[in-house]
Structure 1
Amino acid sequence: MSDLGRSILITGGTSGLGYQCALELARQCPEARILIASRSDTNSAAASINKALGQTNVQYLPLDLSNLDNVRAFAAEYAEGKYPKIQALVLNAGLQFPNGVTYTKDGVESTFAINHVGHALLFHLLRPHLAEKARIVITASGTHDPAQKSGLPDAEYTTAEELAHPSPQSAKNSGRQRYATSKLCNVMWTYALDKRLIAAAARGEERYTVNAFDPGLMPGTDLVREASAVLRWIWNNVMPRMIPLLRRFVHPNIHSPEESGIALARLAVGEDVAGVSGAYFEGTKKINSSVESHVVEKQEDLWHWTVKHVARDEEELRTFDSL
C-alpha cells in the first residue's frame, strides 16, 4: 500500500452500514488510507472496495472490541505500523444479543462491552495518533429515545456498573432493552467527551470534534445476526424490499445501508459539518437526542466508571481522565 497522507479508521466496516460508509469514504478520499477494523473480514470487504473503485487504499485490520486485551494489542500494532495520523475515527461497530445475558472474557455484559466499553478504550489509546482537527463519530441509534417510539423497550440508565454487571433483577431485561440502553450510552459519552475536548482546547491542546449519529432502521444489515433464523430471514429477505412502504407507513427514519452509509461518511469528512461538535444527527439532520441523554449526572457516572474500568494503572487513569 502506498504511503498515503492520512488515515480514516472505521470499526465494524465489513458489512452493512459500516461497509457502505467505508466504500463512500474510499470514494471521496482516494488519497487517504481507509482502515476497516473488525473482528473478522469474511466478506473480504477491503478487497471488494478496492476492486470496485480501482484503488488500493482500503485495508482490513483485525479488532475484537469484546476483549480489552485485544483492543490494547490493536492500538500497539497501530503505533508500530507507522500509519498516518487519524483524520477521522468512526466508532461504528455494534451488536445486540436478543436472548439471555452474555458476558465477555473481561466479565462485562456483552452489549455494553462491545457497543461502548471497547470503543471508549480504543479512543483513549488512539488519541495520540489523532491528526489536527480530527473528527470522532459514534454510531448511536434512535432506539435510545423513548419519544421516538422505535418499537424497542425503553432505554434505562441507572449506573454504568449496573449495565456492566447486571443485578439479578436487571439481568431479566430483554436483550433489545440492553441494546437501546447501550445506544443511550453512546450519546451520553459523546456529550461527556465533547465537554472534555472543549476544556482541553481551552488549555491550548488540539480541538477535536465528536458527534453521535443515528442511521435509522436498516433492514438487511447484520445487526440481528444473533436472532432466530426466521427473524433473520424476514430481516434480510423481506424488509429490504419494503423500505419505501415501511418509511411511509411505519416510520420515516428507515433507510437502506447505502443511504445511511453516505450520511455517516459525511460526518467523518464532509466540509459542511467541519467544526460541528457535541451534536446528535438523525441521518443528515441535527436533532435533539433524548431527555435522559442530557442528564449530566448520568453522563459523568458513565465517563468516570468507563475510564476507571479500562485504565490498567493509576498513571493511565490520570491520562484518560485528564481530558
Structure 2
Amino acid sequence: MTSNSRPHTVVMTGASRGIGWAAAESILRLDPTARLVTIGRGPGPSHSRATHVRADLRSVAQTAAAVDSIARRIVAKELPPLDVVVGNAGVQCATNCSETEDGYETTFAVTVVANHLVVRGFADALDRPARVVITVSDTHFGDVRHNLGMVPGPRWVPPDRLARVRAFADPESVRAGRTAYSTNKLAAIHLVHALARVLPAGVDVVSFNPGFVPGTGLARDAGFVSRSAMVWLLPVLAVTPIASTAAQAGRALADVALGVIATRSGDYVDRRTVTRSSDESYDRQREDELWAFLNDGRVRGYGRKNAKIRP
C-alpha cells in the first residue's frame, strides 16, 4: 500500500500533541488526497481536510460511540473510503492505581482496549488494501539499550490481571506505573500479532516504535522531577542517535501509515526500519489469551456488529 491518488480517509487517535500531532500534519502535507479524522479528548491540527470526533479513549462507551459515528459516515459516503487507521494514543500513569469508569487500569484501557475497539469497530468499513498502525515502545525490550534504564522492563501477568489496578508490586509507586507502561506496550505488540492472524486479507497491521522521544507530554501524570527531566534535560538527547524529535518520529509514523515504508502484516517498525521486536513479544499463547480476554464479552462497546473478525 502506498499513498493514494483518490480521496481516502485516515482515522487517527492520539493526534493532539507530540508525535501524533507531527504525524497528522505530515499526513495532511504529504498526501493531498487524505481526509484525516482524529479521535480523542483534544483535536489534531486545524485543516480543511481534518475533522475531530471528541472521545475519552479511557472510556469503552465513548470510544465505541466515536468509532460507530465515523463508520456510519463512511458507509453513508459522507467521508471517502477508509483505508488507514493509526492507533497512536498513549498514557503513562504515575502509579498502577489509576482506574477507568469501566474498571480497567488506565494504561491498559488506552493502550490495549481502545486500540482493540478502534480496529474491531472499523474492520467492516475498511477499503482494501488497508493498513492499521499501532504505536508501541521499545521499553518492551526491558534493557538499558532500549530504555536508558529509566523504565523497568515488562513483567507479564495474565490479561485479566494486567487489566486491573494493583497488578504490580508496590502499586502506588512510580516504578509500578512505569512497569505497567512497558508491559502494556508489550501487550500491544501481542495484540498486533493476534490481529495479523485474524484480519481479512488485504488489511495489514503493524507495530510502530517511535524510539525515545523526550518532551512529548507522555509523562504528564508523573511527578515533578520526572516531568522536569522529560521537558528540560532529556530533550538534549534528541540530537544523539538514541533519541528522536517529535517531528522526526511523527514523519516516520506518517510514512508507515501511508505505506512509504514497506511492511508486511505483523511487522515491527523501529523508527524507519522493519526489524524484530523482543523475543518475548513472539508468544502465541499470550497472544491467544489476550485475544480471548478482549473478545469474550468482558470488553463491551464494539459499536457496529462485526462479523469479519469474530473470535
Q: Which TM bucket (shorter chain)?
A: 0.7 to 0.9
Q: Matches of 2:32 and 2:307 in 1, distance apart?
A: 38
2:219 matches 1:224: yes
Aligned to 1:254, which of 243, 248, 258? 243
Shift of 1:95: 0.2
1:303 aligns with 2:305: no
Instruction: Specify the code of the residue in structure 2 equivalent to 1:185.
Output: A
Distance between the aligned counterparts of 1:291 and 1:121, measured in 2?
Answer: 27
Higher relative contact order (CA 8 A, sep 6+): 2
The offset of 1:287, in angstroms, is: 1.5
Identity in percent: 28
> Equivalent residue for 1:144?
140
Count of residue correspondences:
294
**What letter matches 2:256 in structure 1?**
L
- Is residue 137–residue 211 contact of structure 1 (8 Å, CA) maintained in 2? yes
Instruction: Provide Cα deviations, 1:98-117, integer angstroms capped at 9, x if missing partner.
Output: 22411100001110011110
Q: 1:100 to 1:196 in 2, by over 3 A?
A: closer
What does residue 18 of structure 1 align with? 20
Matched, 1:277 2:269: no
Show the 5 A alignment for 1:136-285: 136-147=132-143, 148-150=145-147, 151=149, 152-166=151-165, 170=169, 172=171, 174-197=176-199, 200-201=200-201, 207-244=202-239, 247=240, 252-273=241-262, 276-285=264-273
Q: Can you list the C-alpha shifts for 1:115-161, whole angstroms capped at 9, x where unaligned?
A: 11011011111112211111000100000112444121110222110
Please list every run of 5 or more consecutive structure 2 residues that lacks an aligned counterpart in the other structure.
Answer: 1-5
Who is 2:3 aligned against? none
Q: Could you tell me how far 1:226 is from its partner in structure 2?
A: 0.5
Unaligned runs of 5+ in 1: 51-55, 202-206
Match of 1:135 in 2: 131
How far, CA to CA, are the matches of 1:115 and 1:104 in structure 2? 13
Contact 2:123/2:306 (<8 A) preserved? no
State the partner residue of 2:114: 118
Partner of residue 93, structure 1: 89
Matches of 1:317 and 1:5, distance apart in 2: 25
Secondary structure in 2 matching 1:321 = coil
Paired residues of 1:311 and 1:317 also in contact (CA < 8 A): no
**CA–CA separation in structure 2 for the residues paired with 1:185 and 1:168:** 14
My pick for the range that moved more, 231-240 or 136-145, is 231-240
Q: Decide whether aligned partners of structure 1 residues 260 and 168 sit closer, same or farther in structure 2, where only a CA change above 3 A counts.
A: closer
> Partner letter of residue 226 of structure 1?
D
Is residue 138–residue 211 contact of structure 2 (8 Å, CA) maintained in 1?
Answer: yes
CA distance in 2, matches of 1:83, 1:259: 29
What are the superposed Cα offsets for residues 254-276 of structure 1, whole Å, 9 maximum, x if unpaired? 10011111111111113441x62
CA 1:317–1:58 in 2, change beyond 3 Å: closer, same or farther? closer
Contact between 2:37 and 2:53, CA under 8 Å: does it hold in 1?
yes
What TM-score results when the alignment is normalised by the length of structure 2? 0.87
| Alignment check: 8 A CA contact 2:97 2:166 kept | no
In the alignment, the residues of structure 1 paired with residue 307 and residue 93 of structure 2 have an alpha-carbon distance, to the nearest angstrom, of: 33
Give 1:310 deviation, angstroms: 2.3
C-alpha distance in structure 2 between counterparts of 1:228 and 1:170, whole Å = 19
- Structure 1 residues 193 and 238 mapped into 2: Cα distance closer, same or farther (>3 Å)? same
**Local SS of the residue matching 2:45:** helix
Higher fraction of helix: 1
Q: How far is the alpha carbon of 1:320 from its aligned partner? A: 4.2
1:204 aligned partner:
none
Q: Secondary structure at the match of 1:35?
A: strand
Tell me by how many angstroms 1:169 deviates: 5.8
Once the two structures are superposed, residues 195-250 of structure 1 have per-residue CA deviations (whole angstroms, 9 ceiling, x without a partner) of 123xx43xxxxx21011011011111010110123332331233224422xx3xxx
Equivalent residue letter for 1:191: H
Residue 53 (structure 1) aligns with: none
Deviates more, 1:29-38 or 1:73-82: 73-82
Gap change, CA 1:179 and 1:215, over 3 Å in 2? same
